[in-house]
Amino acid sequence: MTLSRTEDWTLQAKCRGMQDKLFPEGVDQKRARLVCMGCPVRSECLAEALDNRIEWGVWGGMTERERRQLLRQRTDIRSWQTVLCGPRKER
């Protein structure tokens, strides 16, 4: 069985196994973002949330409010994966 690209990066995430802690409300979101600092797959995580319009939680160091603002400001971007991580390489 082959892992998809999404599963590949999630296995390297610094937050692996901490899902509940990454979906806080209000002020606690800023604390949750600290987990993302220094994560080796932060860009992939953020691209996943932006490309799929994920509305909840902290992804790639950004809260849902920050991601919504970025999406409103950059309506010209069709693939955040390409912008943040470069083109996908075929295996």
> In terms of C-beta distances under 8 Å and separation of at least 24 residues, what long-range contacts does 26-30 make, across chains too?
29/58, 29/63, 30/63
The SS3 call for residue 59 is strand
Q: 6: which 2 tokens?
A: 């999404």
45 annotated as belonging to a binding site for a ligand: yes
85 annotated as belonging to a binding site for a ligand: no
- Cα(76)–Cα(18) distance, rounded to whole angstroms? 33
- Cα(22)–Cα(13) distance, rounded to whole angstroms? 12
Residues comprising the binding site? 15, 36, 39, 45
Residues of the binding site for [4Fe-4S] cluster: 15, 36, 39, 45
